[in-house]
Amino acid sequence: MIKTERIAVAATPEEIRRCFPVMRELRTHIVGEKEFVERVQRQQKQDYQLAFLESEGEIRAVAGYRFLDSLFSGRNLYVDDLVTRDADRSHGHGGRLLDWLIDQARANDCETLELDSGVQRFDAHRFYFSKRMSISSYHFRIKLEPEA
């Protein structure tokens, strides 16, 4: 049996919607398809792109990314989201999608590909290390509450 696999950028609301079940495994706070599609479309206006790896007619892995320029690291492809469907982990889908992202970075004259990963995501960290990525900085955050 020949496996059919493709990587594409979600361009239509239906393609975005099809990515939701996989992305929901990473972004559990997004509760519904409608909210997801609306958020992705809003972010697309800010140059966000949603790529997906489809195999045998099913979305197996999803990546949200954008191209950025910074004084710190020059031109880079920043990965906002990268997730493989739980049932499909360790089958190479995430690795092929990350390799595709690296190719996109090179094709767009980026100096680096960068991402942040939650400190609790040990399996993801092992995956990134296996792809020759390194920890280069800490990411700090302050939650801003509305003023009373």
Query: Element (H or E) spanning 50, and its range?
Result: strand 49-55
Quick one: pLDDT band at residue 139, thresholds 50, 70, 90?
confident
pTM beyond 0.85: the answer is yes
Residue (of 53, 114, 54, 46) closest to 80 by Cα position: 114
Question: Amino acid identity, residue 124?
Answer: A
Tokens in use for 12? 């239509």
What order of strands is seen across the sheet that includes strand 5-9? 5-9, 49-55, 58-70, 74-84, 112-115
Instruction: Using the predicted structure, report yes or no on whether residue 1 has a pLDDT greater than 60.
Output: no
Question: Domains in the chain and their CATH numbers?
Answer: 5-130 (3.40.630.30)
